[in-house]
Structure 1
Amino acid sequence: MRQSIYQNTDALNQDFASKIVAILAQAIEQKGKASLLVSGGRTPLPLFKALSQSELDWAKVTISLADERWVSADDDASNEKLVRANLLQGNASVANFIGMKTDHEDANDGLSELNERYASMSWPVDVLILGMGEDGHTASLFPCSEQIEQGLNTADKLLAVQPTTAPHQRMSFSLKAILESEHIFLHLTGESKKAVLEEALAGDNALEMPIRAVLQNADVELVWAP
């Protein structure tokens, strides 16, 4: 695991945004398009705002999510709502966005439609930004869920997940899809997340802490600030 450590979150967000934009710009130059998967939560909000103000041919970028809660896009728990309000603004307002929620009541019933949506996305993804929970979950690969073995082993890109320690059914990219990404970043802030990461690095049971499966099988860059 490579590490980019910053003195504060302001320095992190400005440098990280520049790094992401450079990768996306190179992809556009080489392929004519680029793709970016992001995660939800509070941590990436300042990063999203920095990205939204960055100079890039955003019309050639497709943005989507690493995972999503199975709620409507206007629900406060929706990652799509968060991304639309913070990332798809300013210069980035012209980017293409693929939502990870369908009108189906059960996430399992939406898999077919979502697979069709993602067929239009540039794959493998150029940039994937992951977060991590206090339990070592990443995307919606929760150690508490019945679907965790499926998520770590399936050849499918997507799976529906029902956590037992968090609300809402989820849709998540699988470990296989995550590992296929060209550039994988783990974006964390704060000492508590650093301690969780150190615990993850000290063991190898991915069923207990799914982030281990990513760290063990991919070239991941940690981006961290206190």
Structure 2
Amino acid sequence: MNHSLLLHRHADSTGWATTAATAIARALQGPQRQRLLLSGGSTPAPVYRQLAQAALDWSQLELGLVDERWLAAGDANRNDRLVEQHLLALQPQARLQALAQPGSSPASSVQAANAHWRQQPLPTVAVLGMGNDGHTASLFPGARDLAQALDSTAPYASIDAGDCPAAQPFAQRLSLTPAGLGHCRQRFLLLRGNDKLDTLTTALKSGNPRHYPILYALGSSTGPLQVFWCP
């Protein structure tokens, strides 16, 4: 594996969720104000439930999102709904900054998210996922405006992934850019299934981040990408 990646293998989902949550909580400990960016999808739900039990100063911890689907507020398929159901419901002191703003447009929501970013400390931790196509956040290979997002110096961008089967039926997205990922001091990638591990291995062998955007999440001088995997 790449020197900027550390793979933690687990035999079952229970040990996987517990160990990942413990590692995330440990990274968030400290007297300074912390920021935690979270992903949606079904994979991280058990990790979030475990994380909610951690002895953190939740009132001083700001939660944000790695990406969001452009859907109406309260839609069950939004990423912030998953975080609310599996973490905030168990830890009501935590606060979540939504990405998709009610009554706004994707462009305006991205502008607001980038303005909020500049007013806050840099993220301590980003919890990521990955699709079988090698995307992370909403950086889908083949998206029509992917190149613009990849080259952006802003932390968030709007993504039109209407041509990407893996994004369907949620084509319009808001997403961290590689620039945004680069500012996250520690990155944790949650994977389940042999197919995901195979995709990650293929991506690493390719060395092509524009075809496998997960490579933009690889660790930097602040530490390796921590990958937690179970079958």
Task: Tell me how large the CA RMSD over aligned residues is.
Answer: 1.6
CA distance in 1, matches of 2:114, 2:56: 28
CA distance in 2, matches of 1:67, 1:60: 22
> Are residue 24 (structure 1) and residue 22 (structure 2) matched?
no
CA distance in 2, matches of 1:35, 1:42: 22
Look up the match of 1:138. Answer: 136
Look up the match of 2:193. Answer: 190
Cα distance, 1:110 vs structure 2:
2.3
CA distance in 2, matches of 1:174, 1:137: 12
Look up the match of 1:151. Answer: 149
Change (3 A) 1:216 1:80: closer
> Are residue 72 (structure 1) and residue 59 (structure 2) matched?
no
Change (3 A) 1:216 1:38: closer
Cα distance, 1:208 vs structure 2:
1.3
CA contact (8 A) 2:59 2:94 kept: yes
CA distance in 2, matches of 1:120, 1:15: 32
CA distance in 2, matches of 1:65, 1:210: 18
> Are residue 82 (structure 1) and residue 82 (structure 2) matched?
yes
CA distance in 2, matches of 1:8, 1:54: 21
Cα distance, 1:153 vs structure 2:
1.7
CA distance in 1, matches of 2:87, 2:121: 19
SS at match of 2:36: strand
> Are residue 122 (structure 1) and residue 130 (structure 2) matched?
no
Cα distance, 1:118 vs structure 2:
3.0
Residues 10-32 of structure 1: per-residue CA shift (max 9 Å, x gap): 00111111111111112xx2x2x
CA distance in 1, matches of 2:155, 2:193: 31
Matching residue within 12, 15, 21 for 1:11? 15
Unaligned ranges ≥5, structure 1? none
Look up the match of 2:46. Answer: 46
May I ask how many residue pairs the two structures share in their alignment? 220
TM-score for the superposition, normalised by structure 1? 0.91
Identity of matched residues, %:
29
Residues 115-168 of structure 1: per-residue CA shift (max 9 Å, x gap): 233334321x11111100111110011112122112222111110001022223
TM-score for the superposition, normalised by structure 2? 0.89
Matching residue within 223, 226, 230 for 1:225? 230
AA partner of residue 53 (structure 2): Q
CA contact (8 A) 1:98 1:118 kept: no
CA contact (8 A) 1:162 1:168 kept: yes
Residues 85-126 of structure 1: per-residue CA shift (max 9 Å, x gap): 111122x21112100001345311322222233334321x11
Cα distance, 1:217 vs structure 2:
5.6
CA distance in 2, matches of 1:215, 1:96: 28
AA partner of residue 93 (structure 2): V
SS at match of 1:196: helix
Unaligned ranges ≥5, structure 2? none
Residues 56-109 of structure 1: per-residue CA shift (max 9 Å, x gap): 11101001110000112311210011111111122x211121000013453113
AA partner of residue 20 (structure 2): F
CA distance in 2, matches of 1:71, 1:87: 21
